Structure formats: structure tokens, C-alpha cells
Structure 1
Amino acid sequence: MTQVAIQPAVHRRHQPWYKVLYIQVLIAIALGVLIGYLYPDLGKELKPLGDGFIALIKMMIAPVIFCTVVHGISSMGDLKRVGRVGLKSLIYFEMVSTVALAMGLLVGEILQPGNGFNIDPATIDPKSVATYVTQAKEQGIVAHLMAIIPDSYVGAIARGDLLQVLLISILSGFAIALLGKTGEPIADAVDKAAKMFFGIIKLIVRVAPIGAFGAMAFTVGAYGLGSLLNLVALIGTFYLTSVLFVLIVLGSIARLAGFSILRFIAYIKDELLIVLGTSSSETVLPQMIQKMEHLGASRSVVGLVIPTGYSFNLDGTNIYMTLATLFLAQATNTHLTIWQELGILGIAMITSKGASGVTGAGFITLAATLSIVPDIPIQSIAILVGIDKFMSECRALTNLIGNGVACVVISISEGELDRDALHETMAHPLEIGESLEPGGSAS
């Protein structure tokens, strides 16, 4: 069982409130909303601040995942255990994802957020969504599977494609493990490289408030708070459904596993606020790996569950897909039978896989789903373009919480998480500004 070095609360370094990262991010988000609302043109000009921070984080994701997964698998020793953890994770992902998809349909059917819109699809300009439709058609199942294979080993890391990086990482991890003693120096070198990459991320994360400020100022400046009012029923329904899913579904899973979902949310509050500001859960993937290790989960389990969860365990995206599909059917007065709705659920189970935490990915997978469901006019997604940025925040937040819970649950099921360390860490969480070393120990 992984042991975690927990520092007593009396020795924790005290920081002034204005130096605490999550407070800085909160202030930055509030200022971003204010600037975007009062000076929309200026807000649009601040877009590079958000884009720059996201780009800085994204450039580190591929090497961090590569090092984490490779070292995790190669250090397991028992390759059967790797397969067991992987299979267990995929089964868990599929079960919870299906519940999320079903919940989106259920709440959408009960609250009927699209009723009364009476939209005529013929009046919608298909050019406004042509880009999304084209991308959706290019993401067929066969094309999607083939795209997982990179054109070269280095090319996968250079492009930063999450599934491609996972593929070469898993293959490399198995290859090093099969080398036995010969592979140990390679695994050690990869581990040392990971520490360097996490050190770079620690520096980058300090500018998160600037990134959140720029991204939020642009969002409000470009789309305006008024766009929220036009489709407030859908936005409210989606946020309500996501909150219910987190508290009821994930909360029940957490309770069965022996921890509190509310304490867990408090533990990852820094990451949640960064996601809120940037609308992308990928911006905190490296930090989530560190936080899960600090909870006491072994590096091998974290290295498998967190990266794969970013492609296969997207609870927020799943809720959005079925809820938005039902909303568009209601808004265009398209009657769907119960069998058609179940068909949408089945299709969404396939199209939702591989939609990473990048902003807009959920919208593209929605277009992919509608392209397979001919009953609902695909051009109707144009009415959602203006609010997708606001919806993506909720998708990313829900995805992040779901992946964190999955990692803890799988770790507990493997008997590799110290429950005392889990509760102690949640009771006295570290701020990102404090020292958090890869490997699960706090210094």
C-alpha cells in the first residue's frame, strides 16, 4: 500500500490570503466578468492571455502523461495487474458514463427546456455550423480509431493528441517492464524527467489568475451576458442536472467508497476554479495527477486512470449531449419515441468517447451525434453556438470531478489507498503554491 507523508497541520506554511492561488483566481474571474461586461471590446482583446496560459499547460500535457503512464506501468512489476486496473477502469467509466447519459435524457424529458421555442430549421443558416458539421463527419468511428495511431512515435508527443500519447505510453511501459533489470534504469530516467516536467508546471500554474482573467473577459465580452438570458432554460437545466449528478450519483459512489464528495470538491477547489476560468479541464490535468498521488493513490493507478478518464470518462459531456439533443428536438417540435431516445443514448455512448477536455469538443461530439440521428435537423445546433462557451465550463467542471472520484474509487478497489491519509489530506489540503512532489509525498 502506498504510504503518504502527511505534514501535521501545525507545521503547514501559512500564506497571506492574497497569495492563495484559488483566491487569486476567484478575483481574476470576477474582474474578467466585470471588464468583459463594461468594456466588451477590451474584453475581446484580452483573449491572448487565456489562450497563452492554456497553450503553456497544453505543451506540458503530453510529456507529463508519457512519463506518468510509462513509469507507472513499468514499475508495477505484475503486468496482469496493469490489465486488471485498465479493465476495471473502463468498466467503471462505461457504467458511470451511461448513468450520466441517461440522467441528461431523464431531466430533459421531465423539465422540457426546449418547449415553446417553435424554431423552424429552414430559417437557420447552415453556414453558421458548417465547421462543426464537417468536423463531426470526419470523426466517424473507423476514422476515430485510425486516428489513435500516430504517424510516428515522436509525432504523437509533438502534436499532443491525448489518445495517441496514451497508446505510445502504454506500449513503452509494457516494453520497459518486459526488459526486467535492463529496463530499470530507463524507468528511473523517465521518473526523473517527470519531476522536471512537474517543476515546470509548478511555475506555469502561478500565472493561472492571468489566464483565467483573460479567458473570462473574452467570453463575456464576445458573447455577452445577454446571450445567457436567451437560452436560460437550457443553461439552468444543464447546470442543475450536473449538480444533481455530482451530489447524488458521484456522491453515492464516494459514500460507498468511504469519503465525502463535498470534502473532495473542497480538496480540488484550486483546479476547479482554474477550469472555471479557462473552460477546459485539460489545463489542470498535471495538477490532478499530483493531487491524486498526494491522496495516497499509487502512481501506477493514477497514471492509468486519470489520463484514460480524460478520454473515456466525460460525465459532463455525456449529460450535455443527451440533454442538448433532447432540447433541440423539443425546440424544433421534433417528436421522438421512447425507442428513438434510447437510440440516441446508444449512439451517444459511442460518439462521446474520445472527446477530450478541450473547449468546444462537447459541441463537436453533439454535432457527430445529430449527424447519425436524421430526425433532428443538424443545423438546429446553430442556436447553441452563442452559449456553448458558458456550457463548456459546466462540462469541464463535471468531467474533472468525475475523473477525480474514479481515481480514488479504483485506488481503493485495488487496496492501494491509505484511508487515514485520504481523510487527513482532505481535512488539511495543500494549496498548489506549497511543495507537492510527484510520488505522493508532501514536503
Structure 2
Amino acid sequence: MPEAAKPWYRHLYVQVLFAIAAGVLLGHFYPTVGASLKPLGDAFIKLVKMIIAPVIFLTIVTGISGMRDLGSVGRVAGKAFVYFLFFSTLALIVGLIVGNIIQPGAGLNIDPASLDTKAVAEYVEKAHDTSIVGFLTGVIPNTLVSAFVEGNILQVLFIAILFGISLAMIGDRGKPVVSFFNDLSVAVFKMVAILMKAAPIGAFGAMAFTIGKYGVGTLANLAMLVGTFYLTSALFVVVILGGVARACGFSIFRLIAYLKAELLLVLGTSSSESALPALIEKMERAGCPKSIVGLVVPAGYSFNLDGTNIYMTLATLFIAQATGIDLSWSQQALLLAVAMLSSKGAAGVTGAGFITLAATLSIVPSVPVAGMALILGVDRFMSECRSLTNFIGNAVATVVVSRWENALDVEQLDRAMRGQSLRVDQMEATAIPAE
């Protein structure tokens, strides 16, 4: 029998929406109080990060260990990275095109020598610590448990893939372990559901801090940049990702509606990591195989950063235009190439958007790194859009790769997109608790 409908006020997305609105009002009218509520948002994000490693590990291990064809692991990973590379590069190009057409920084005529570089020194230092070689070697943890202790997503992904393949290779002898992990995953996802009840509190604290500390008024000076970035990201999601979704047989708008609670959480906390466990659960419920979800979603959080890539090229052009630097097409081509590499080098680093921008400007000598001080005040507002675009991009990537593998349950995807509940047998098969 179908479950009785929840009262409207018990839905997570409604609670988070009210929390965001309350946070905005408190931060605006009582900025000191709002700024002091930062620990609420930080505490919630720490709670979620605490559970991310177990969720990723259990999802991947139980998914891969149940595969009969281990060659499909490499095939899925290969298809996912082809997707990531293509659309990440496309996002960089879109940012360049829009930046050249709208020119949000034109006419500001700011002298780079007058800018305070101390404000961005921390990010520049972190940018120098990131490199492709360092990033690749950093995927390998120092010990088997250090990845879980440090909460490094890519290291957990690396261990989980190896362990899942090992369990699959030993066959029947590994079944007791797989059975234990399947049972454990039920408890872990129930824990996720419990933690998500604190989401409105986290969103309230994070939004109150953002408005209280930075103020909506800070947007006025750089309204053209922020507005251009939001509009570009929206067009990328609706037109480009929407076209991909349509080609794969689903609607981008229905997907956004399906993920509305998670998207509001990302908006409120300005962090896509806050909704990572919920995204894994939702994608499995939408008919994507556990093995594909476990590979694509965590890897996408480091490699499929559409919003961050749009921001990088758009922000770089803004700084160049604001400081009166005219970049030639060859210099912009160099910028594109550097951004492609630096975005991978800073993958998985906290504050990756701003750090990646610093890494790019450090290598491209035409644009002064000091120019980052121009956008530091509004970066927090743009980070929300970066996170939202990244989040939607990874949800689309998961469905697309599942479709490419002919492993997508189209009927279940349609049911999920239309807001219909899972059948009982499917709920038992996925071992994921209902929302």
C-alpha cells in the first residue's frame, strides 16, 4: 500500500528553504549575530564529512563485488573520465566566450599596484602546493586506514575499488564479507538520514554567517560579474546539460526537482560535499546501478567541476578587463590549457575554486595574481553557484554513464523523476531506506 503523504512542513526541502530565508533575514538585520553563527554551518558540514568515507567505501565495494564482469569497472571509469574531460573543457570554453562577449570587468580601470595582495596570499600559497604529479601520488594513501582518518575522497575511492575487485575475484569465499557490508550499508544510510535532519540548522547558520559577514551590499560593486556568472551557469545547466539529458531520455528540470532538497542544502551551506551521501542514495533510487554510482559520483566531485571551470575563465577575464589588460586569442588559448591542468591539480582541495584560480594566474603571467583581491569579497556568493552547478553536473553524469552502459533502469528513473515511490521489491534490492 502507498505510504501516507507527509505534511508539507515535514519535507526536508521545505525546512531547508525556510532555514535559508531565516538565515538571510537574520544576517541582514543583525549582521553581528549572523556572523557569529558560522559554527552551526561548520558543524553540520563536519557531520556530513564524517560519514562520506564509509558511504563511498560501502557503495563501491558492494557494487563492484557483485559484478560478474570485472572488465566493466575499467570500462565505466573510462567512460566517466571521457565525459568529465569533455564537459569540463566545454565549461571552460563557455566561460571564455561569455567573458569576451559581456566583458563584466570592462571600464573599471584599476591599477594592479593599488591592490592588497595580503588578502589572497593564503590562496596563492596553497596553489603553489598543488601540482599534477603531487595530486596523482596523493591518491595513494600512506596506510590502508589513513584515507578514512583524513577523509580524502579519492584515496577512499582508490581503496574501495581495489577491495571490491579483490572480493569479486575470490568468489564464494568473499560472500560473507559482502553480506556483512550490505547489512552495514543499511545502517550507515539510516545514519545519513538521521544526520540530514540537522540540515536546516546547518543551512540557517551558514547563510546567516554569509550575509552577516559579507552583506548583500557587497554584491553591488561586482554585480555584473556575479550576475554574469549565475546567468552563464544557468544557461550551461539548462541548454548544455539539458540537451544531454534530453538525448538520454530524461528532463533536466525533472532531475532538478527530484534533487531539490539536496540543491537547497548545497545553496544554504555553499558546499556540494554536504549533499554527497544524499546524492549517492538518490541516484541509486533513480535506477542507476550501485557500482556506477559509487564510481562516478565520488570521482566527479574531483574531476567534473563544471561550475568551477566556468568561474575560472570568467573570473580571469574579469580581472584582466578590470586592470586594463587586453588578452590576445593566443594568450586566452594558453589560459584555457593551463586551467584544464590546474583544475585537476587542485581537485579535492578545500576551497578549490579560488585556489585553482590562484594556480592558473600564477602560471599565466599576463594577468596579475593580485587581481584576485577584487573578487574576494563576492567569492562566497559565487561559490554557491559553483557548488550547485557542480552538483547538477555530477547527477547528470551518473545517469548518462549508466545509460551508456545499458544499465539504467529507465522505468525507475521515470518513476523517481515524477516523484513516485519505489516498489517494495526495489527498496529491498537497493537496501536504501526511503526518505
TM superposition score normalised by structure 2: 0.96
Secondary structure of the structure 2 residue equivalent to 1:272: helix
Distance change >3 Å, CA 298–CA 78, structure 1 → 2: same
Query: Could you tell me how far 1:146 is from its partner in structure 2?
Result: 2.0
Q: What is the aligned counterpart of 2:82 among 84, 91, 94?
A: 91
- Whether 1:164 aligns to 2:121 is no
**CA–CA distance in structure 1, aligned partners of residues 80 and 420 of structure 2:** 26
Q: Do the aligned partners of 2:415 and 2:421 also contact (CA within 8 Å) in 1?
A: no
Q: Point out where structure 2 has 5 or more consecutive residues left out of the alignment.
A: none
Query: Could you tell me how far 1:166 is from its partner in structure 2?
Result: 1.3
- Other-structure match for 2:298: 307
Q: Point out where structure 1 has 5 or more consecutive residues left out of the alignment.
A: 1-7
- Other-structure match for 1:339: 330
**CA–CA distance in structure 2, aligned partners of residues 175 and 79 of structure 1:** 10
Could you tell me the percent identity over the aligned residues?
56
- Other-structure match for 2:269: 278
Q: What is the aligned counterpart of 2:405 among 401, 411, 414?
A: 414
Q: Do the aligned partners of 1:281 and 1:358 also contact (CA within 8 Å) in 2?
A: no
Query: Could you tell me how far 1:128 is from its partner in structure 2?
Result: 1.1
Query: Could you tell me how far 1:174 is from its partner in structure 2?
Result: 1.7
**CA–CA distance in structure 2, aligned partners of residues 231 and 220 of structure 1:** 16
**CA–CA distance in structure 1, aligned partners of residues 349 and 187 of structure 2:** 25
- Whether 1:352 aligns to 2:343 is yes
- Whether 1:65 aligns to 2:56 is yes
- Other-structure match for 1:294: 285
Query: Could you tell me how far 1:353 is from its partner in structure 2?
Result: 2.0
Q: What is the aligned counterpart of 1:372 among 341, 350, 363?
A: 363
- Other-structure match for 1:3: none
- Other-structure match for 1:51: 42
- Other-structure match for 1:195: 186
Q: What is the aligned counterpart of 2:239 among 248, 251, 263?
A: 248
Distance change >3 Å, CA 62–CA 428, structure 1 → 2: same
Distance change >3 Å, CA 196–CA 161, structure 1 → 2: same
C-alpha RMSD of matched pairs (Å) = 1.8
- Whether 1:14 aligns to 2:5 is yes
Query: Could you tell me how far 1:430 is from its partner in structure 2?
Result: 5.8
Distance change >3 Å, CA 96–CA 371, structure 1 → 2: same
Query: Could you tell me how far 1:429 is from its partner in structure 2?
Result: 5.0
Distance change >3 Å, CA 222–CA 437, structure 1 → 2: farther
Q: What is the aligned counterpart of 2:197 among 187, 206, 210?
A: 206
**CA–CA distance in structure 2, aligned partners of residues 274 and 436 of structure 1:** 25
**CA–CA distance in structure 2, aligned partners of residues 438 and 362 of structure 1:** 38
- Whether 1:121 aligns to 2:112 is yes
**CA–CA distance in structure 2, aligned partners of residues 187 and 318 of structure 1:** 38
- Other-structure match for 1:4: none
Distance change >3 Å, CA 235–CA 357, structure 1 → 2: farther
Q: What is the aligned counterpart of 1:383 among 357, 361, 374?
A: 374
TM superposition score normalised by structure 1: 0.94
Q: Do the aligned partners of 2:130 and 2:346 also contact (CA within 8 Å) in 1?
A: no
Q: Deviations over 1:315-372 (max 9, x none)?
A: 1011111111111111111121111111111111111126557762211111111111
Query: Could you tell me how far 1:307 is from its partner in structure 2?
Result: 0.9
Q: Deviations over 1:362-411 (max 9, x none)?
A: 11111111111111111110111111110010000000100001111111
**CA–CA distance in structure 2, aligned partners of residues 194 and 440 of structure 1:** 8
Give the aligned length.
431
